[in-house]
């Protein structure tokens, strides 16, 4: 039984990757279990300068999920390289995914160039889809032209594979996907969170200080699955699928829709052992559904496969 998959030449022992923003820089979870069980991990979204994030409260509960508005809190790319990555490398021996945030094309390029030079980084994940910052992030991901511009600029500056993280907060996600593919993207990560909100009935005010935030968790899984399915039919580059994955069966379903690997996000915030449990449950799920090699099922739900 073979759980291995490959993303743009980077081999993963299994397709399960903690999603950026839900797993810190990895070493925090290494205190709980050996994180080398993971296929890879996407570390916390990194910007050029340190960011303290949005005002609190930043989290609101919803049925089957949560809304967050953290706002890319991180120590800045130089702080990540000097302090966070050495601690991660001490407990994780596999190539990682560097999630890159930005507020301008130049910032994306600057961060990506520095992270591209780190030997532990296997893939650069360019986040053009964060709904929790103003003047950057999602403003690039909702325009095919702007998304292509970021993609081209980063590709010219780096050597490692570039995956573009797409927002679901658009009318037609396939239009953005085609634009980044044509601009040279090596792959796509999708979906980021959906824009949502909660209102406190007693105070009659939004629960989150930023009013709105990114909605994630099992409640968005069917929507994420639909978008991955659509984008698989629209492009030829690999997809890392995410959005509400919390079980081994979700991994299989997302891969059948067209994902070559998956990321697990909100589930890590509910149970820090979520990724470990999913990976350990995969062999039994594969046996149940008569799957010998996970890589063989990618796109299996599409006509003609």
Enzyme catalytic residues: 130
Cβ-contact 230, 166 below 8 angstroms: no
Cα 233–235–236 angle (5° rounding)? 105
Helices (H), 117-168: 138-141, 144-157
Return the SS3 of 266: helix
Return the SS3 of 287: helix
Q: Helix count (H) and strand count (E) of the chain? A: 11, 16
- Rounded to whole angstroms, how far apart are CA atoms 161 and 184? 10
- Which of 226, 161, 156, 168 has the alpha carbon at shortest distance from 193? 168
271: how many CB neighbours lie within 10 A of its CB? 11
Return the SS3 of 61: strand
- Rounded to whole angstroms, how far apart are CA atoms 64 and 70? 19
Burial category of 55 from C-beta neighbours within 10 Å (exposed 0-12, middle 13-18, buried 19 and up): exposed
């Amino acid at each position: 039984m073979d759980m291995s998959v490959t993303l743009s030449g980077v081999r993963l022992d299994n397709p399960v990757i903690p999603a950026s923003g839900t797993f810190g820089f990895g070493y925090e979870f290494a205190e709980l279990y050996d994180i080398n069980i993971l296929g890879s991990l996407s570390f916390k979204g990194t910007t050029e300068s340190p960011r303290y994030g949005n005002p609190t409260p930043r989290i609101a509960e919803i049925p089957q999920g949560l809304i967050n508005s953290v706002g890319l809190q991180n120590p800045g790319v130089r702080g990540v390289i000097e302090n966070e990555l050495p601690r991660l490398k001490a407990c994780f021996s596999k190539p990682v995914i560097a999630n890159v945030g930005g507020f301008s094309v130049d910032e994306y390029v600057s961060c990506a160039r520095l992270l591209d030079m780190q030997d532990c980084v296997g893939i650069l994940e360019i986040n053009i889809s964060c709904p929790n910052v103003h003047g950057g992030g999602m403003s690039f991901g909702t325009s095919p032209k702007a998304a292509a511009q970021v993609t081209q600029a980063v590709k010219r500056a780096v050597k490692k594979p570039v995956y573009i993280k797409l927002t679901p907060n658009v009318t037609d996600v396939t239009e953005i996907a085609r634009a980044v593919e044509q601009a040279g993207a090596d792959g796509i990560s999708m979906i980021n969170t959906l824009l949502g909100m909660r209102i406190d009935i007693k105070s009659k005010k939004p629960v989150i200080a930023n009013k709105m935030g990114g909605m994630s968790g099992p409640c968005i899984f069917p929507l994420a699955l639909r978008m991955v399915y659509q984008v698989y039919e629209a492009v030829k580059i690999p997809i890392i699928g995410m959005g509400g994955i919390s079980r081994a069966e979700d991994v299989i379903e997302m891969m059948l829709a067209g994902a070559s690997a998956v990321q697990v996000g909100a589930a890590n915030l509910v149970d820090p052992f979520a990724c470990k449990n999913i990976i350990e449950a995969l062999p039994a799920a594969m046996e149940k559904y008569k799957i010998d090699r996970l890589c063989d099922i990618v796109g299996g739900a599409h006509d003609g496969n």
